[in-house]
Structures are given as C-alpha cells and as structure tokens.
Amino acid sequence: MGAKRSAAARREVMGGLAKGLEVIRAFTRDRATLTLSEVAEVAGLPAATARRCLHTLEDLGYIKRSGRSFVLRPKVLELGAAYLESMNIEALTKTYLEDLASQTGDSAALTVLDDTEIVYVARASVRTLLRLEAHVGSRLPAYPTSMGRVLLAGLSPEHLTRYFARAKLVALTERTVTDPARLRRLVDECRSDGYSAVEDELAYGVVAVAVPVLDEAGTVVAALNSSGHSKRISRAKLVRERLKMLQDVSRRISAELRGVSGLSLSAQR
C-alpha cells in the first residue's frame, strides 16, 4: 500500500521543475559564470537536459547567455523576495519594529531587494515622515536609500555589476549620488563598515541609517533601518545614537526568522 502511494506521489512530481531549480542552484558566488558542461556536472544532469533547462530559463529571463557561458539575471531575486513576502514577515517582526520606532520616536522598516528596487516587507512608525510615507509592499529605488545600499553590499561582484548595468540612476534631490563609481565606493564602505547612512538623497528631509539582516551563513537577506527628519536629527547623530540599537535588533530578528519552522533566508544572490 505504501509503495503504491509512493509511486502515485512520484507521478505528481514535476521532474522538469526540479531539474530547472537544480540548474539555478548550480550558480553561486564562486561559480557565477558557468558553461553548459559545467552546469550539467554541478547539477548532476545529462548535458541535453541541462541545455533544455538553460534555454527555458533564458527564455523566461532568469538566465543570460554570455558567449559560451551562462550567468544568472537579477530576475532570480524575485524568487527570494516572493518567499520572504509570503511568509508574513510583518507579523514576525512587528514587535521588534514597533519597539524600535517607540524608542526612537521615528520610523523603522525591513526591506528585501527585488531587481533594482527595495520592497518593504515590514514597517512601524510613530510619526509621518513628510509625503514619503512607505507601507508594506512599497517599492523604492535601491541606490539612494540606506537599506538599498546595505542590500547591494550583500550582492556578489557579478550581480552588483549587473545591477549597475540595469539601474537608472536619477537625481531625486541635489544631494542624490548618481555617479556609478562613487556609488560603488559607498557600497564598498557599507560592506566594510556594516551599515549605511543617507541624508536628503531620496527626498529632502529624509535621513536614515540601515544595517543588514543575516542568515546562518552570514548572507545578507534583508535590511533594517531607522529613519527620521534631517531637520530634527543629523546623519552623524542618527548613526551615533541608533546604530548599536539597530545592530542588536537585527541580531534578534535574524534569530527570530531562523527559528520559524521551514523558513530559510537564503536569497538575494
């Protein structure tokens, strides 16, 4: 009876989908560019099967051909972002963000990276911040935001290069950094320092500091920030007063998310 159920269950499994996911998982930070034969070897698939998977993923926009090699495209990030959003992260982190907002008298938020934008998956606020009031599901460009730069700092060099190839760097204020070389330096500084802070770049009056949320492997899977009004608090004071607080909350959120059965925060690559 058990053998019959097992056989029936196997008939319901989509082998092609499983193989396609194996192909995606073949790409890592150390294996960002792979040839067909390398994909087949790493994924444990026949060359013909790996070829069909690669062509299908290329047609869907998840993989790009580069000569005889293949690389992942930023669209792959949608898979991780969709999973985080579907897990009701807002409910899981509600208390932490509310406590943070209450202690600072401002706003706190958690975001993930989706292509060239950050997506709000949780937020708490004590006061309204100008006209730029974000909510769960809101999207903002990554480059002029503290959380965006934290998430960009978590990308591999290859994915970061592709980000800059796709992102439209538009000056939103006179202080918005749009020079790619300077932005890369800021992302590098964020990776080294462990945080990012911006002032009047996304909009006049918006000042924020953000830190990464990490999984067990140390991978950046989300960004946590505290924001306020630049007329009430300077960027330097914001970092001085809230950075350690954010880092502590980030550690607790990471532990909370890892403790959820079946939840694996391993995307954003």
Please enumerate in sequence order all residues whose Cβ is within 8 A of that of 184, keeping only pairs 6 or more positions apart, or say none.
160, 164
Q: 86: part of which helix (H) or strand (E)?
A: helix 77-86
What letter would DSSP give residue 214? E
Q: What is the pLDDT of residue 90?
A: 61
* pLDDT lower than 70: segments of the chain: 1-14, 29, 77-78, 80-92, 127-133, 258-269
Q: What single DSSP character describes residue 72?
A: E
Q: Hey, is 111 helix, strand or coil? A: strand
CATH number of 78-258: 3.30.450.40
CATH 1.10.10.10 fits 2-72, yes or no: yes
* pLDDT at residue 266, as a whole number: 35
Is the Cβ–Cβ distance between 177 and 183 less than 8 Å?
A: yes
Per DSSP, the three-state class of 70 is: strand
Backbone phi, psi, residue 105, to 5° = 75, 15
This prediction has a pTM of: 0.67
* pLDDT given for residue 109 in this prediction: 92
Write down the pLDDT at residue 9: 47
* Domain segments of the chain as ranges: 2-72, 78-258
Given this model, what pLDDT does residue 32 score?
84
